[in-house]
């Protein structure tokens, strides 16, 4: 068996920054450090941090007053920031800067009196946070059918934004629908879907043509990882989203000569390596890394964390 190992894969700059924030907070302040929602959508990462003393909460009432609190990479609404302040929590904002960009665009369009179509998945942490910036101005759009049923007061004051982890193809289809129905609709100056999401999707699109099966390392609640699996299936190739080697079913590989292995933006390299070891041991696989482009993006730690750490 031949394994094509896609590159780029795995952690993006935003995930790296968020993980570095939580790691540094635990080392500097000691356990417990509270985190609002999962730091990133990955089971392995979350379980590893739980063992180190991180406590993940979905309600700030669970956080004792004056504790250290980290906001996850997906961002939060102003309401959550205010609630943290009211509880006298020391808040560290590990929101990905590319998510912050979408928040700022939402604020700008809302102040100008626009209705904003937010293209995204209902209930996703990132969508909840973005909609919280201007709830009276934002309408969630998930499908082309939603566009057909959309009613707006003034079609000349309409804008769209997108969740950063969507399928590029799906988002493009919905944006084209919006533009066809509302020709005057405005978009962000630069596309909202993040560079890492696009690069990992491009790798599956280009390299998947050489494979008979695609393994995507990532958790089920990871939006960008789900899109990679869906992209493989849309190309007519069986695709499986797995947390690690224990999820692999040997029968998947019957009659398979070539496997493409990739990882979502929140999946650590250690789970990729464990899967590769399994494939080499079980199927005597040879592994070939194929890079479609280089990534050199890095985000600095948040100012408030740098300031806190320099004090301690």
What are the φ and ψ backbone dihedral angles of 73, each rounded to 5 degrees? -60, -20
Annotated binding site for dimethylallyl diphosphate: 41, 74, 124, 222-224, 266
Taking CA atoms, 192 is separated from 27, 48, 76, 265, 276, in Å, by 33, 30, 17, 16, 33
> Last residue of a domain, which of 153, 181, 209?
181
C-alpha angle 12/19/52, rounded to 5°? 150
8 Å CB contact between 32 and 54: yes
- Which helix (H) or strand (E) segment holds residue 4: the answer is strand 2-7
Residues of the chain with pLDDT under 70: 311-312
User: 167 and 214, same structural domain?
Assistant: no
Question: From the CA atom positions of the chain, what is the Rg in Å?
Answer: 21
- pLDDT for the residue 306: 87
Annotated binding site: 12, 41, 74, 96, 124, 164, 194, 222-224, 266
User: 306 and 254, same structural domain?
Assistant: no
CA 119/CA 102 separation, integer angstroms? 11
- pLDDT for the residue 52: 98
**Could you give the strand order of the β-sheet that contains 68-71, starting from the edge strand earlier in sequence?**
54-57, 33-36, 68-71, 90-93
- pLDDT for the residue 312: 53
User: 92 and 134, same structural domain?
Assistant: no
Instruction: Answer yes or no: is 188 within a domain.
Output: no
126 given a catalytic annotation: yes
CA 32/CA 53 separation, integer angstroms? 5
> Last residue of a domain, which of 181, 211, 239?
181
- pLDDT for the residue 311: 58
User: 222 and 162, same structural domain?
Assistant: no
Among the options 38, 105, 126, 133, which is catalytic? 126
C-alpha dihedral (202, 18, 275, 205), degrees to nearest 10 = -10
178 Cβ neighbours under 8 A, 6+ residues apart: 117, 141, 147, 158, 160, 185
8 Å CB contact between 237 and 208: yes
Annotated binding site for isopentenyl diphosphate: 41, 74, 124, 222-224, 266
Instruction: Answer yes or no: is 41 within a domain.
Output: yes
CATH number of 90's domain = 3.40.50.11270
Note the pLDDT tens digit of each residue in 244-301.
999 999 999 999 999 999 999 999 999 999 999 999 999 999 999 999 999 999 999 9
User: 159 and 113, same structural domain?
Assistant: yes
User: In the structure encoding, which two tokens stand for residue 33, read together?
Assistant: 């450090």
User: 148 and 114, same structural domain?
Assistant: yes
Annotated binding site for [4Fe-4S] cluster: 12, 96, 194
CATH number of 260's domain = 3.40.1010.20
User: 77 and 165, same structural domain?
Assistant: no
What is the domain count for the chain?
A: 3
- pLDDT for the residue 130: 98
Q: What is the domain range of residue 77?
A: 13-96+300-310
> Last residue of a domain, which of 119, 152, 181?
181
């Amino acid at each position: 068996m031949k394994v094509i190992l896609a590159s780029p894969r795995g952690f993006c700059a935003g995930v790296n920054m968020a993980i570095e924030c939580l790691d540094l907070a635990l080392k500097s302040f000691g356990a417990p450090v509270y985190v609002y929602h999962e730091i990133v959508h990955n089971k392995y990462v979350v379980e590893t941090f739980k063992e180190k003393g991180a406590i993940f909460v979905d309600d700030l009432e669970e956080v004792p007053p004056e504790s250290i609190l980290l906001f996850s990479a997906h961002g939060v609404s102003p309401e959550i920031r205010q609630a943290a302040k009211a509880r006298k929590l020391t808040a560290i904002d590990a929101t990905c800067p590319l998510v912050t960009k979408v928040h700022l665009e939402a604020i700008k369009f809302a102040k100008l009196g626009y209705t904003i179509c937010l293209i995204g998945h209902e209930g996703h942490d990132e969508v909840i946070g973005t909609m919280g910036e201007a709830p009276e101005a934002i309408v969630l759009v998930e499908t082309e059918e939603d566009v057909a049923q959309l009613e707006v007061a003034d079609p000349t004051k309409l804008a769209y934004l997108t969740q950063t982890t969507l399928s590029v193809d799906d988002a493009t289809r919905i944006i084209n629908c919006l533009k066809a129905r509302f020709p005057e609709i405005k978009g962000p100056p630069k596309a909202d879907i993040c560079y890492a999401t696009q690069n990992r999707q491009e790798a599956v699109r280009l390299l998947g043509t050489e494979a008979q099966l695609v393994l995507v390392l990532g958790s089920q609640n990871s939006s960008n990882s789900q899109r990679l699996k869906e992209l493989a299936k849309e190309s007519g190739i069986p695709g499986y989203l797995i947390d690690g080697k224990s999820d692999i079913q040997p029968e998947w590989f019957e009659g398979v000569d070539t496997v493409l292995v990739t990882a979502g933006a929140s999946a650590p390299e250690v789970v990729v390596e464990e899967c590769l070891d399994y494939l080499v041991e079980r199927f005597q696989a040879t592994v070939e890394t194929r890079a479609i482009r280089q990534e050199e993006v890095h985000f600095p730690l948040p100012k408030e964390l740098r300031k806190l750490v320099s004090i301690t």
